[in-house]
Chains A and B, each alone.
Chain A
Amino acid sequence: MNIQDSFHPEQEIAKEAPCLQRSLLEGRSITNILLTGIAWLAAIIASVPLISVLYGLIVKGGHRLSLEVFTELPPAGFEEGGGFGNAIVGTLVTVGFGAVISIPIGFLAAIFLAELEPDGKVAYVARFCAKTLTGLPSILAGVFAYAVVVLATGTYSAPAAGVALALLMLPTVVLTAEGAMRMVPSKMKAAAYGIGCTRSQVIWKIVLPTALPGVLTGVMLAIARAAGETAPLLFTALFSNYWFVENGTAHVMEPIASLSVLIYNFAGMPYENQIELAWTASLVLVMMVLLFNILARVLGRKKV
């Protein structure tokens, strides 16, 4: 564009100035619109299952939701009413045992993987094992705990269920905690060393507090997963029609109830009352899982 040579420079510029208007017919924008549409559609399809499950559960189980189901014991055969209070407690207790076992181990393992020996052979093997364990069929975790704990102690129990659930929670805790610790910028660690921290002070005072939201997210996701497990509990916790704590004593080394096993049992029964309760228990369980997931998100978002 050689303006000096032209007699009408303004016209020339006007002619050659690029058109900045958006043109919907251009190939580029058609592809753009198409891909955006597909992404929207996929996102909607992905949320259909959860929403329809929730809808179904509320329709079928919502009307039985009352204080009674939280405080009563499961009804026998032809009994009317009843609830699953002991199963809610049982789910919390078994998941609690799982958390107590898996969180400390997972946490320390993550420190090792992220900070102490990130490139060592041990770390490589441990990381590989953790990733493989993520895909472990939950029934195998149950069989494992049955062989190791139930046979050894001679009874189904909450700790046995805890071991099975811990096995399923461990990889999630380890891998998310490691990821969160690795996200801590190395310049922040350099600053800590520079001010005179020992390695353990760097880990405890800088890396862990900075990574805490991410670590808690992993813990909550693991808990959410464990709360919904059924198969491992069939081999380890079995079921009970009584409360975990009765007359002031906790029945630790005895079979224990859980929501998922209750659903499994009641759904197959030929009684209207039990089937209704199974629906309501499902609703409660899904709500609990949802709660842990929301908690995971809230904790993960919290930044210092």
Chain B
Amino acid sequence: MNMNFSAASNVNASKNAHSNVVIDCNLDKVFYGDFLAVRDSHVPIQKGQITGFIGPSGCGKSTVLRCLNRMNDLIEGFRFEGNVHFNNQDVYHKTVDPVVVRRYIGMVFQQPNPFAMSIFDNVAFGLRLNRFKGDIAECVENALKKAALWGEVKDKLKASGLSLSGGQQQRLCIARAIATEPAVVLMDEPCSALDPISTRRIEELMIELKEKYTIALVTHNMQQAKRVADKTAFLSVEISEGGRTGYLVELGETSQIFDDPKEELTQQYIRGEFS
């Protein structure tokens, strides 16, 4: 597989050449049809770090995440103003193939969504898709181990992915996403269906993964953001006459966001005064 991003060289180099920004996300306006879902959210995602997104339900965290790997292209009526750069290449440039973008920017969804095939095939799916030449069984085992699922499924790899419990399914989806070793993994509340023990394991996995990969993590659990995120972005909603629009309130080092938030809204949200 060879990725031809070079044609899309509407380069933003001057700005980010020195810093370690993998995905430079500059969303000015994101629309679903006429509905303005998110505005003015500029979040540079640093290489080798975990960038957390927190904020009230419906503020557009998933929307922002889906803009990064062009998953929103699949939604009828999606439009956006601004730009997203992946390694200094414009992801939305007209010569860029969204399918290739998604192979480099993997995703774990809010709801577990394994394929209706065996556990093994679920994890091997992306490898086969990329015509992986190495030892597939070994990669599957590694991915399942990293996702803290190997012990539970090693004796029933041929069983259907759908036969697992919700939390196991989610870990299977994580294994599937990391099996292909994408440069960036977008995780949309990956632990919302998990028990505290698996949650811990996934958090450990994230910390382990960030050595090699970059992670963007949406979470409702502020303790989780505190535990794993290096940078934290706080989004909020603004109720205007046109509807509810999400926007970036504050972005900073996680410790700064939680201990010394600059914005009033962030303080309220962190203290739990926010509805």
Instruction: Give residues in A with beta carbon < 8 Å to B.
Output: 185, 187-188, 190-198, 201, 205-206, 209-210, 303-304
CA distance A298 to B147 in the complex (A): 36
Q: CB distance A190 to B74 under 8 Å?
A: yes
B5 at the A interface (CB under 8 A): no
Chain B residues with a Cβ under 8 A of chain A: 69, 71, 74, 99-100, 102-103, 106-107, 109, 111, 113-118, 125-126, 129-130, 160, 162, 173, 176-177, 180
Point out the residue from A190, A201, A210, A304 that lies within 8 Å of B109, measured CB to CB. Answer: A190
Q: Are B115 and A196 in contact (CB under 8 A)?
A: no
Closest to B179 in A: A195
- Would A198 and B106 count as touching, CB distance under 8 A? no
Contacts A190-B71, A190-B74, A304-B162 given; does A195 touch B126 at CB 8 Å:
yes
Q: Are A209 and B117 in contact (CB under 8 A)?
A: yes
Asked if A192 meets B74 with Cβ closer than 8 Å, knowing A197-B129, A198-B99, the reply is: no
Tell me the bound Cα distance from A169 to B69 in angstroms: 43
Contact call A206/B99, Cβ cutoff below 8 A: no
Contact flag A195-B111 (CB < 8 Å), given A188-B116, A209-B117, A304-B160: no
Q: Given contact pairs A196-B102, A205-B129, enumerate 8 new A-B contacts (beta carbons under 8 Å).
A: A187-B111, A190-B71, A191-B114, A195-B107, A196-B100, A196-B103, A304-B116, A304-B118
Q: Residues of B contacting A193 with CB < 8 Å?
A: 71, 74, 102
Please tell me if the beta carbons of A195 and B116 are within 8 angstroms of each other in the complex: no
Which listed residue (B74, B113, B126, B160) contacts A196, Cβ 8 A? B126
Could you tell me if A209 and B180 are in contact, using CB atoms closer than 8 angstroms? no
Contacts of A188 in B (CB 8 A): 113-116
Q: How far is the CA of A81 from the CA of B126 in the complex (A)?
A: 63
Q: Could you tell me if A196 and B99 are in contact, using CB atoms closer than 8 angstroms?
A: yes
CB within 8 Å for A194 and B129 given contacts A187-B113, A206-B115: no
Chain B residues with Cβ below 8 Å from A185 are 113
Query: What are the residues of chain A within 8 A of B126 when measuring CB–CB?
Result: 195-196
- Counting chain A CB atoms within 10 Å of each CB, the highest count among B107, B116, B177 belongs to B116
